[in-house]
Amino acid sequence: MPTSVALIAHDGKKDDMVAFAQRFKAILSRYHVIATGTTGQRIQAEAALTVERMQSGPLGGDAQISARVVEGSVAAVVFLIDPLYAQPHEPDIQALLRICEVHNVPLATNLATAEAVLTQLNKARVGHLIFNPVAGQGNPDNDLALISRLLEPQIQLNVIYTDPDRDLTQQVQMALEQGTDLIIAAGGDGTVSVVAGGLAETTTPLGVIPRGTANAFAVALGIPTNLQDACATILAGSTRLIDVARCNGKAMVLLAGIGFEANMVERANRDLKARLGPLAYILAGMQQVGGVEPFQASVEMDNKSTEVTTGAITVANAAPPTSVLAQGFGQVMFDDGLLDVTISTSKSPLQSINALTSLFTSALVNTPSDHDEITRLRTRRIRIDTDPPQKVVVDGDIFGMTPVDIECISQGLTVLAPLSTIGDSLADD
């Protein structure tokens, strides 16, 4: 994964290298800079760039850089040589030149060629790939190899693995601070949600490679759910502005569920999803229907409060037709600046089944539900409190307990997605 730029300079060219690094700091800061000892020390101090320092040239720093070229992690090498006054102890370019020739890595030896190489690098897109190795049921090593093979001819990829011990939001922020053209989330809806939250209200686009169980976000936006076509969508470069929401401050790209949805998601744990895939949610839902416990809810929006007895409340920013509990309007619009609220007031298992059937039919025919036990609302902001307190699921993960305050941020997220989506085709029918 060629995401590094290597810098080497003979003693008589170190001043030129520092000036070069200062001039092209904006481009170099987007890459991982490696340099031989003294050269790296000066660049870091005088050009204010973060540099990984190898050994000095006489001690084998150039050989260490050659090894990085062989690994495939170096996008370009700048080796400013002194053709007239090179010292005997300084590294010879011949070995590094041979390695760069063999591995097809550009090597610049003077300021003119160095400028040409950096200018060309500036045209390439730099992307950060947030990769969740435990998502889905595929082989993560094979998936990552395929993704890299498909994307790297056009995008310089920095791969970041998700880790339960590391804050993913901070990892996204670090990628933004380093400078990136796009951030790609490769995982399930939970991973996509966190990455999207870090990109909300920025101009950096989100790419999505679905590797989860339901992949509801990808389906809602018409992003292909197989790796090859998802990568092709990213490479196509078409972007869409969509809404994003915040639930008690947490980013939400899909929906928040209270009652039925939260309990269903809790039943469909990781082990069940690993064994059954999407069927895990269907099984959990069937188990949940007979055990719905109604609760009192206070729903406040537009400075008006309504009391209701319910077993399920869903507040959706975006949702595919398979997210049945969000289908009060038959289709969730993800770029209208509004949240779709669906409330079920069913009081018995039979009524719950009838209400679910009505919502499923609404999604199929793309028309609002007229079922007596279904209340549907659209609003920019909503606050929900319950008695007793209820679990809340946000974008497929248990988030906490009520009360919740949810607000829609109109067109707050840029996503790499097909210009024609499932929602568009339904709306045009």
Q: How many CB atoms lie within 10 A of CB 103?
A: 14
Q: Are 76 and 82 in contact (CB under 8 A)?
A: no
CATH of 125-244, one of 3.30.1360.30, 3.40.50.10330, 3.40.190.10, 3.40.50.2300: 3.40.50.10330
pLDDT of residue 360: 66
Q: Is 37 annotated as a binding residue?
A: yes
User: Between vectors from CA 252 to CA 247 and to CA 258, what angle results, nearest 5°?
Assistant: 60
DSSP category for residue 24: T
Bridge partners, 106 (sequence order): none
Q: Which CATH class name applies to 255-409?
A: mainly beta
pLDDT of residue 73: 86
CATH of 4-123, one of 3.40.50.1380, 3.40.1370.10, 3.40.50.300, 3.40.50.2300: 3.40.50.1380
How far is the C-alpha of 401 from the C-alpha of 386, rounded, in Å? 9
Instruction: List the chain pLDDT tens, one digit each, 429 residues.
Output: 567 899 999 999 999 999 999 999 989 988 889 999 999 999 999 999 999 999 998 889 999 999 999 988 898 999 999 888 767 766 778 889 999 999 999 999 999 999 999 998 888 788 999 999 988 778 999 999 999 999 987 888 889 999 988 899 999 998 898 778 999 999 999 899 999 999 999 999 999 999 988 899 999 999 999 999 999 999 999 999 999 999 999 899 999 999 877 666 555 455 544 443 444 344 444 445 555 678 999 999 988 999 999 888 999 999 988 788 888 899 899 999 999 999 988 765 556 667 767 776 776 667 888 888 889 999 999 999 999 999 998 988 888 999 999 999 999 999 999 976 544 444 444
**Known active-site residue 387:** no
* Locus of tokens 């062989």: 70
pLDDT of residue 224: 96
Q: Is 38 annotated as a binding residue?
A: yes
Q: Which residues of 26-61 are buried (b: 16+ CB within 10 A; e: fewer)?
A: ebbbbbbbbbbeebbebbbeebebebebbebbeeeb
In the chain, CATH 2.60.200.40 sits at 255-409
In the chain, CATH 3.40.50.1380 sits at 4-123
Q: Is 32 annotated as a binding residue?
A: no
In the chain, CATH 3.40.50.10330 sits at 125-244
Output the furthest CA–CA distance in the chain (Å, rounded).
90
pLDDT of residue 172: 94
Q: Which amino acid belongs to residue 381?
A: R
Tokens (6 digits) for 53: 């320092």
Q: Is 10 annotated as a binding residue?
A: yes
SS3 assignment, position 184? strand
Q: Is 89 annotated as a binding residue?
A: yes
pLDDT of residue 273: 45
Q: Catalytic one among 11, 15, 16, 62?
A: 62
Q: Is 39 annotated as a binding residue?
A: yes
Q: Is 56 annotated as a binding residue?
A: yes
